[in-house]
Amino acid sequence: MTESSPALAAARDEVAAAVETMLDRLLPQPEGSTARLDEAMRYACLGGGKRFRPFLTVACGDLFGVPRPRSLRAGAAIEMLHGYSLVHDDLPCMDDDDLRRGRPTVHRAFDEATAVLAGDGLQAEAFAVLADPATHPDPGVRAELVAGLAAAAGARGMVGGQAIDLAAEVRTAAGRPLDYAEIAGLQALKTGALIRFAAEAGAVLGQALLEEKAVLRDYAAEMGLAFQIADDILDHEGTVAELGKAIGKDAGAGKATFVSLLGLEEARAKARALTTSAQARLDRFGPPAAVLQALAEFVITRRS
Amino acid sequence: MTESSPALAAARDEVAAAVETMLDRLLPQPEGSTARLDEAMRYACLGGGKRFRPFLTVACGDLFGVPRPRSLRAGAAIEMLHGYSLVHDDLPCMDDDDLRRGRPTVHRAFDEATAVLAGDGLQAEAFAVLADPATHPDPGVRAELVAGLAAAAGARGMVGGQAIDLAAEVRTAAGRPLDYAEIAGLQALKTGALIRFAAEAGAVLGQALLEEKAVLRDYAAEMGLAFQIADDILDHEGTVAELGKAIGKDAGAGKATFVSLLGLEEARAKARALTTSAQARLDRFGPPAAVLQALAEFVITRRS
């Protein structure tokens, strides 16, 4: 496996385009007196993003022969949930960010109240998409998807992780930044829970064995942590032009990062070890898993 | 039917106590590094509120012999969704309220970031509860409940209604307040959608006929509008001591209300006509529907 896989790049481009089309179709069309809200929800989700989570759902679904229209719907729902979390994380009372993906954040492009509501609406729409019979004819599969997304999104998932992250800032300001285990635990909730579910959702749609679901969750957990370590390394090394957001912000605020805690070399080694382990878990699926193994490689070698 | 029904009062007290117990059990227990978030979620939902929506779910479920543990779980999920909407509506960038049910609002008792996250977490937990097999053994019922709640909560439901309400303030400031049809349309989304679903959920749990679900939705739609008209009348007449919130705020801001648009007498007559119609819809269910008919009466005769 090379660091840059042409097959992966082509697969990611194809899925990203299909996800964009699906999101465009599923998100409410701007209409009447809710037009501003509708525009904000679309602005938050369309025209940007790596589409990393929906790609995971689609590629994991492919392992079990899941029809693309189903995995793309589930992937789009997960991307709506992800989009809502970014809108709320960027709010003045949270991370107070003006830029996201090189564009004004939703509360800057619209206003703060619309940003809160757009996030709220995106979360509801994500569940609406999963509960729709078009996502899977078996209601048991739909209910399992909803339960999985709700767990990944809630107080013991993404929202809990964000709350811990806010509390960490208070600790940092008091001179007691988090240690490695605490940051890894925080990330396992804040970003890991949804990444694990994105992979598992492909297996749920494929009505895979419990054991297969667990393997994909574990693969995604290791890749997700490697992703965050790589993010910290990029943040440490990056430039404004490459990332489209203020650089070194986390480090500049005295906040503990994987790089500040482990040092650059050990952080790189840790990301590599996680990636190798994640890739090995997929050997049981044989050649069809090559694209997911290449994705894990990409996560730690990307430049943005 | 008298204005104050002892049977209704007893039934409401019983359900309110059971909802409190169910919410206490279903909401995450304060724990470890998410304790502050957990506390905020519990603060938002426990120890207050009329429990109007869960009572609707339980009383409608009773018509079809739905076991109480199921209708109470669904009712608690709906109350979590309602609680989240109040937390976000009270935020400084929205209605900027300091008091709710006579207590500091969540962003005043905790902080703004925690209030945003507590609302986000409550929405996720609501879906988690509905998707759980304990709510109903048939996954088709669970998926239908999730789809119904998501529709009631989203851009064409509660969140859309709140967005229209915010836009209405801009129009009011520009000297063009909403007319009756526009306010009724706004309320049908902002509060009506969840009230309709609360009634329908009882029928969904009871695997009732499509027609029975429609009758309960229509009953709840009329009662929900009567509820809002009665709210405006109470706001017009009320005192701080009775309501536990700043009085005359809506009217004082030059905002159109049902009272300002219709006048007090016509508003009363409209609420009465809606209530009578809502009650008549339930005749098909016979004596077991008496408590729901008394509820409709209560909605327009309550003093707070």
**pLDDT beyond 60 at A112:** yes
Separation of alpha carbons A89 and B145, rounded Å: 29
Chain A residues in contact with B135 (beta carbon < 8 A): none
Could you read off the pLDDT of B37-59 as tens digits, one per residue? Answer: 999 999 999 988 899 999 999 99
Helix (H) or strand (E) holding B74: helix B68-89
Alpha-carbon distance values, B21 to A119, B84, B230 (Å): 30, 18, 29
| In a domain? residue A193 | yes
**pLDDT beyond 60 at B242:** no
Nearest by CB to residue A112, choosing from B28, B93, B146, is B93
Return the pLDDT at B244.
Answer: 56
Residues facing residue A117 across a β-bridge:
none
Contacts 24+ apart (CB under 8 A), B260-263: B260/B177, B261/B179, B261/B180, B261/B183, B262/B180
Residues belonging to chain A: 304
**B290 reaches A (C-beta below 8 A):** no
Q: Are A196 and A217 in contact (CB under 8 A)?
A: yes
Could you read off the pLDDT of A169-181 as tens digits, one per residue? Answer: 888 889 888 999 9
Number of domains in chain B: 1
Task: Tell me what the mean pLDDT of segment A33-60 comes to.
Answer: 96
Name the amino acid, one letter, at B18: A
Q: Report residue A236's pLDDT band, with 50, 70 and 90 as the boundaries.
A: confident
Cα-Cα-Cα-Cα dihedral of A265, A266, A271, A276, to 10°? 100
Q: Report residue B2's pLDDT band, with 50, 70 and 90 as the boundaries.
A: very low
What is the residue range of A84's domain? 6-301
**Residue pointed to by tokens 């706001």:** B235
**B30 reaches A (C-beta below 8 A):** no
| In a domain? residue B1 | no
Name the amino acid, one letter, at B79: E
| In a domain? residue A154 | yes
| In a domain? residue A1 | no
Could you read off the pLDDT of B58-111 as tens digits, one per residue? Answer: 999 999 999 999 999 999 999 999 999 999 999 999 999 999 999 999 999 999
Q: What CATH number does residue A171 fall under?
A: 1.10.600.10
Separation of alpha carbons B76 and B57, rounded Å: 9
Return the pLDDT at A269.
Answer: 97
**B124 reaches A (C-beta below 8 A):** yes
| In a domain? residue B120 | yes
* Å between B273 CA and nearest CA of chain A: 28
Name the amino acid, one letter, at B171: R
Structure-token pair, residue B249: 């705020």
Residues of chain B above pLDDT 90, percent = 84
Separation of alpha carbons B247 and A221, rounded Å: 52
ipTM score assigned to the predicted complex: 0.94
Separation of alpha carbons A300 and A302, rounded Å: 6
Task: Tell me what the mean pLDDT of segment A161-171 comes to.
Answer: 92
